[in-house]
Amino acid sequence: MIQIPHVSMEDVARRAGVSIATVSRTLRDQANVAEETRRRVLRAAEELSYVVSPIASRLATGRTGAVGVVIPYASRWYFGQVIAGAESVLRDCGLDLLLYNVGDQAARKRFFERQPLRRRVDAVLAVAMPFTDSELSTLHGLGVPMTVVGFDSPGIPSVRINEAATIDRAMQHLFDLGHRRIAMISTYADQNVWLPVAHQRRTAYLAALAEAGVEPDPQLVISVPFSVGNGERATAALLALEDPPTAIFAESDELAFGALTALRRAGIGVPESVSVLGVDDHDVSQLLDLTTMRQLVFQQGSLAAKILAKALGIDCVAPEPDTESGTVLVPTTLIIRGSTGPAPHG
Q: What is the pTM of this model?
A: 0.81
Interval 189-202 mean pLDDT? 71
Confidence label for 69 from pLDDT (cuts 50, 70 and 90): very high
**pLDDT class of 322 with cuts at 50, 70, 90:** low
Average pLDDT score over residue span 293-309: 96
The fold of 9-61 is 434 Repressor (Amino-terminal Domain) (1.10.260)
For residues 174 and 239, the answer to whether their CB atoms sit within 8 Å is: no
Least confident of 152-156, 177-181, 220-224: 152-156
The whole-angstrom separation of Cα 140 and Cα 145 is: 9
- Give the tens place of pLDDT for each residue, 81-127: 999 999 999 988 889 999 999 878 888 889 888 888 888 899 999 99
Domains 66-160+297-330 and 163-296 are alike in CATH topology = yes
Q: Does the structure show a pLDDT above 50 at 254?
A: yes
In this prediction, residue 59 carries a pLDDT of 43
Whether the Cβ atoms of residue 305 and residue 202 lie closer than 8 Å to each other: no
pLDDT score of 61 more than 60? no
Torsion of CA 43, 49, 55, 57, to 10 degrees: 10
Cα distance between residue 200 and residue 160, in whole Å: 13
Average pLDDT value for residue range 22-39: 78
Q: What is the CATH number of domain 163-296?
A: 3.40.50.2300
Instruction: Give pLDDT, residue 51.
Output: 65
Comparing 175 with 72, the larger pLDDT belongs to 175
Average pLDDT value for residue range 219-224: 96
Q: How confident is the model at residue 321 (pLDDT cuts 50, 70, 90)?
A: low
Q: Nearest Cα to 234, choosing from 217, 252, 251, 255?
A: 255
DSSP 8-state class, residue 30: -
Q: Tell me: pLDDT of 57 over 80.
A: no
pLDDT at 75 over 90: no
How distant is the alpha carbon of residue 84 from its chain centre? 8
Smallest CA-to-CA distance from 202 within 163, 232, 230 is with 163
More confident residue, 129 or 253: 253
Instruction: Please check whether residue 41 is in contact with residue 24, taking contact to mean a CB–CB distance below 8 angstroms.
Output: no
Residue-level pLDDT at 180: 97
Average confidence (pLDDT) over 235-245: 97
What pLDDT was estimated at residue 19? 85
pLDDT of the residue at 4: 46
Q: What's the topology of domain 66-160+297-330?
A: Rossmann fold (3.40.50)
